[in-house]
Amino acid sequence: MADYRSIPGPSPSRGGDSVANVLHFSSDPLEYMSRARRKYGDVTALVRGGNDSLYVHNPDCPGTIFAFGPRQNEKILREADTFHSASLIASLLPRGSEALRRITTGLFSYNGAEHRRQRQLVWPPFHRKSVEAFCRVTGEVVENFIGGWKPETVVDVELEMKRLVLQVVWKTFFGVDSSSVPELAALTEEWLKRLPNLGKTWSPNLPGSPLHRICEEAEIIEQEIRKIIQAPDSGGPPRSVLSLLKASRDEQGEGLSEEELVGHGFSMLMAGYETTANAVTWSLFLLVNHPAVLSDLHEELQGHLGGEAPPAERIGRLSLLDLTVKESLRILPPASLGWRIAARETGLGEYEIPAGTEVIYSPFHTHHSPELYREPECFRPGRWEHLRPSPYEYLPFSAGPRMCLGASFATQTIKVILSLLVQRFRFEIPPGTRVDYELGITLFPKQGLPLRLREQDSRFAEGKREVTGTIRKLVKLC
């Protein structure tokens, strides 16, 4: 195999360091990676010759590489003992921030045999029957939330979907209404908004600093979640993810500790709320810009549901809804990039990969490969009537032994929310709307997504208007 330092990639800056490359990458990771793939191929370096660690602090990191396409996806994701997962929060942890460490220690933080044990313990809430049992309560939360929306007003769909999905998560994961824990719910919402910004600028852990505030609030969040965990169960059938986690046992009959319950519960909230909310947001954006698809979807939903939320047994009959969600997750996957760390020396393509190398794979670029998807920038749900891609050709929830446990739960939640929104309202793009994308941990509209609410009058063509912004680099609004 060729030496690691021969992996092609953009040149370092004139001073020989990688700072300029990292800044260019950080400003638009998708565009930086697209250019690298076009110029250098399926295995490229963030900067030729290596760089300091990008996402996870590691003084021995030789550099960051990009791996594109199904072949590389399969190697990285199947060989979980070679390509380790790492929490992106870990690099932010200062000394003494034990509460922050505990509430962010979920499955992302484990590898090897311990990951397999933890995954076995965390699996019960995500069995098919368990997921279906949450369908009704999800519908109730959505009904209550959108009941406060008024036609003829403009809502920021991105912001509203995050609030809505957080309410769904509180009810389904922890078994509590967010209204019953208003201070905790409000603190968590604000905390989650501010957390990603810590990675953009260095912050000392000093009183009054953003990082110190995050750590202090993590202690409050942990204490409140422990109170929910310690509350006695109702004695009836388990009705939340938490109750199922508390009852779970491994082959030796051991369950999760309270600390593990805190970590898994809150990590699931963190991982699930933003990806699911952004999936609904992008789906609405794509539907409003494709009124013929939206009209057909509305007809299907009305025919099967008559304005109501879908019960679990009917979701499988909503074929166009299924195709629509699949296509939305293909063209604008919220989890557009994935990260791994080489735990030992290995290889990708024709190149040696030393231990400690950061490896970034890309569901987004896989989903936009013309070799796999004809006219990949076009939103065409009908393509899924005949497509049967492999798990490494279509991976909105990753793939392999670390595939997202909550994939079915998230998909069901997306479908329930969309089915009610499309039946109750007609959405309209306000004149002069600009939509720029940004990729942090997830892909989201940078300035939000304003949409005007109308009574559902089926005049879908009137909802589409010219949209400007960088989103047009990712999607052809045909």
Confidence of residue 202 (pLDDT cuts 50, 70, 90): low
Q: In this predicted model, which residue has the larger pLDDT, 44 or 179?
A: 44
Residue whose structure tokens are 């003992």: 81
Range of weakest confidence among 109-113, 155-159, 208-212: 208-212
Whether residue 439 is contained in a domain is answered as yes
Strands 358-361 and 346-348 turn out to be unpaired
- What pLDDT score does 93 carry? 57
Average pLDDT, the chain: 92
Domain that holds residue 186: 4-473
Whether 48 shows a pLDDT value over 60: the answer reads yes
Residue whose structure tokens are 């004809």: 374
pLDDT in tens, 350-397: 999 999 999 999 999 999 999 999 999 999 999 999 999 999 999 999
Whether residue 347 is contained in a domain is answered as yes
Whether residue 132 is contained in a domain is answered as yes
pLDDT in tens, 122-156: 999 999 999 999 999 999 999 999 999 999 999 99
Helix, strand counts (H, E) of the chain: 17, 12
SS3 state of residue 69: helix
User: Percentage of residues in the chain with pLDDT exceeding 90?
Assistant: 81
Q: How many residues does the chain have?
A: 478
Confidence of residue 349 (pLDDT cuts 50, 70, 90): very high
Q: Tell me how far apart the alpha carbons of residues 82 and 101 are, in angstroms, rounded to a whole number.
A: 24
Confidence of residue 413 (pLDDT cuts 50, 70, 90): very high
Whether 294 shows a pLDDT value over 60: the answer reads yes
Whether 230 shows a pLDDT value over 90: the answer reads yes
- pTM, to two decimals: 0.95
Whether residue 478 is contained in a domain is answered as no
Whether residue 158 is contained in a domain is answered as yes
Q: In this predicted model, which residue has the larger pLDDT, 60 or 421?
A: 421
Whether 226 shows a pLDDT value over 80: the answer reads yes
**Which amino acid makes up residue 307?**
G
Residue whose structure tokens are 């509203």: 160
In 130-276, at which residue ranges do the beta strands (DSSP E only) sit? 154-156
Q: In this predicted model, which residue has the larger pLDDT, 430 or 477?
A: 430
Strands 64-67 and 358-361 turn out to be parallel
Q: How many domains does the chain have?
A: 1
Residue 156 pairs in a beta bridge with 450
Mean pLDDT of 23-44: 95
Q: Tell me how far apart the alpha carbons of residues 63 and 321 are, in angstroms, rounded to a whole number.
A: 42
- What pLDDT score does 440 carry? 87
**Residue 478 annotated as binding site:** no
Range of weakest confidence among 13-17, 65-69, 315-319: 13-17
Q: What's 124's domain CATH number?
A: 1.10.630.10
Report residue 127 as tokens.
């069995």
- What pLDDT score does 292 carry? 97
Mean pLDDT of 306-332: 96
- What pLDDT score does 199 carry? 57
Confidence of residue 233 (pLDDT cuts 50, 70, 90): confident
Q: Are 261 and 281 in contact (CB under 8 A)?
A: no
Whether 91 shows a pLDDT value over 70: the answer reads no
Mean pLDDT of 82-90: 80
With b for 16 or more beta-carbon neighbours within 10 A and e for fewer, the 79-114 pattern comes to: ebebbbbbbbbbebbbeebebbbbbbbbbbbbbeee
Residue 452 pairs in a beta bridge with 154, 428
- What pLDDT score does 224 carry? 94
- What pLDDT score does 92 carry? 52
Q: Are 178 and 165 in contact (CB under 8 A)?
A: no
pLDDT in tens, 93-117: 555 578 888 998 999 999 999 999 9
